[in-house]
Structure 1
Amino acid sequence: MTQQPFSRPGAIDLSALKRPAPSAPPAGPGGPGAPATGAPTGGAPTAAAGGSSYAVDVTEQNFQTVIESSMTAPVLLVFYSRTRMPESGQLADDLAVVSGEFEGRFLAGLVDIDAAPQIAQAMQIPSIPLVVAVLDGRPAPLLQDAVPIEELRAALTQVMQQLTAQGMTGRHQPLHAVAGPDDGAEEPPVDPRYAAAQDALGEGDIDRAVAEYQKLVDANPADAEAAAGLAMAKVLQRTQGVDLNEARAAGAANPDDVDAQTMVADLDMLGGHVEDAFARLVELVRRTSGDERNAAREHLLGLFAAVGNDDPRVVRGRQALASALF
């Protein structure tokens, strides 16, 4: 049995949102936020002002609807305060920008904790900035640092690739068409190159997904997204029908067995424990030699490809691999 890429604790406790917001003066830095003013009375989300078609300012009125939309595709909630921590506001802006680039693979929910303090209370937010991934109504922390947009984009690319490999290929509908010079023109269709592979994953036909991704890689070896999709599909293919507990027990009993260790590394990848997978195989490379060492190294390179060369975890993993080899 394989794990989902996110841990899924209990559903969000919305009971706090059933009570009226307390009347309080605007807070200074570090104090409780003021209640929302001028909040819309309707529950339907509308796109964030000046943002993409896939970003929404989350209020106490539309929070439930935003969370329910995670049944279709992931929702990424970013909690921020421009007054207390300006860099958290920049992270919210960057997430809105990147949400447009992913064309509905996720909805960015922007939660200003000063304007909507009860949402932060209901979610038990310990600090800002914080990005929480919500899948099927269930939250899991995803990011706790105000990273540059390039690092944010790389991290989310890896997350979306993992979800695709799990067969989660839903998309949100745009909340509105972003105004611009070509306003009124039809939006370009989503790139259809990956449709066959994603459809196969959605149907649970992993072998066909591998074959479809392989066709894309053969046609264009420079297609990084196809290469990453192929690598993740192969991980899914290798772990089909594998019992997680038995695999981990075999790995613990046979620390130098390449097959046992690479299987646990694959399961770590599917469970979202990317750095654990890398560390396990780096240490295996360090302990082995000859054909066994080469097999471990090649497997690790395949996992690097699945995550993406721009991901900082891959950069660190490559440095660790070089140290183990030399």
Structure 2
Amino acid sequence: MSQPSINLHGAVDLSALARPPQSPSAPAGDATEAPVVVDVTEATFQQTVELSMRVPVVVEVSAAYAGGPSAVLDKVVTDLGGRVQLARVDVETSPQIAQAFQVQAVPTVVAIVRGQPVPLYQGDYPEEQLRAVIDELLRVAAQAGVTGTVSGSGAEEEPAAPEEPPLPPLHAEALDAIEREDYPAAADAYRRALKENPADHEASAALAQVELIIRTASSGGLQAITDAEGVAPTDVAAHLAAADAEIAAGRPQAAFDRLIAVVRATAGEDREEARKRIVEYFEIVGNADPAVADARRNLASALY
């Protein structure tokens, strides 16, 4: 892949996006408080053009469907310690910028020096060739008197994640038990948490999961599904074991269908046991799974 020829007379007209840059208020060689790597939109592009009067700006036009911004380019620019700013543009959210640079494919990388576009390359470049391209850009920028730097102090920092509140004591006790694989002790802690607060949905869901682990450890695992083949739905124990195995294997729809068939075919305590197990599965699988909404409707129909 040949290295592109760099000049200060690109064919791109930036006037559709930015006013003519103002004369810089600081000398072109001074440090500017700005991030080394920044995401640019049509609303902020004017600032990028104005910064190019003092610092060479590399503009990377990319798209998520094509792999997004280049980690290699990010590394090469960051290694320069602020001698170049990398302005990243998403072609899908800022199409006018891509149009102004006459972008035909992504990724496309151009530069701006003193408000003038400098075509660089298209596609993905290996690190060694990228460094050669940026070195040439710096040489050309220096000839144009653009030798400033960005300090990085204006970098956009992601907001700090909110500190998680401490776990309630019984939840912490349960997690400690889970870490040492003492599942009966974990179940006991969650039951005590529910006794203190029956509305503790986290404890309820966790208890259902722990009890599932305890049951499947002694039920033969996936073999329980095979053992239940051809067995009448009135054999509640066989189908409960098989449904546990299906839930543990990530097959909630099969487990729901199996136990709803048991509910339809049984009465009294057997029916109630199957119903309660389905409700436990709702806690384990979670309401976001579409299988849960279907199972709720089917269970109501089977019961009433």
Shorter-chain TM range is 0.3 to 0.5
Q: Which has the higher contact order (CA 8 A, sep 6+)?
A: 1
Task: Give TM-score, length-normalised by structure 2.
Answer: 0.47
Task: Give TM-score, length-normalised by structure 1.
Answer: 0.45
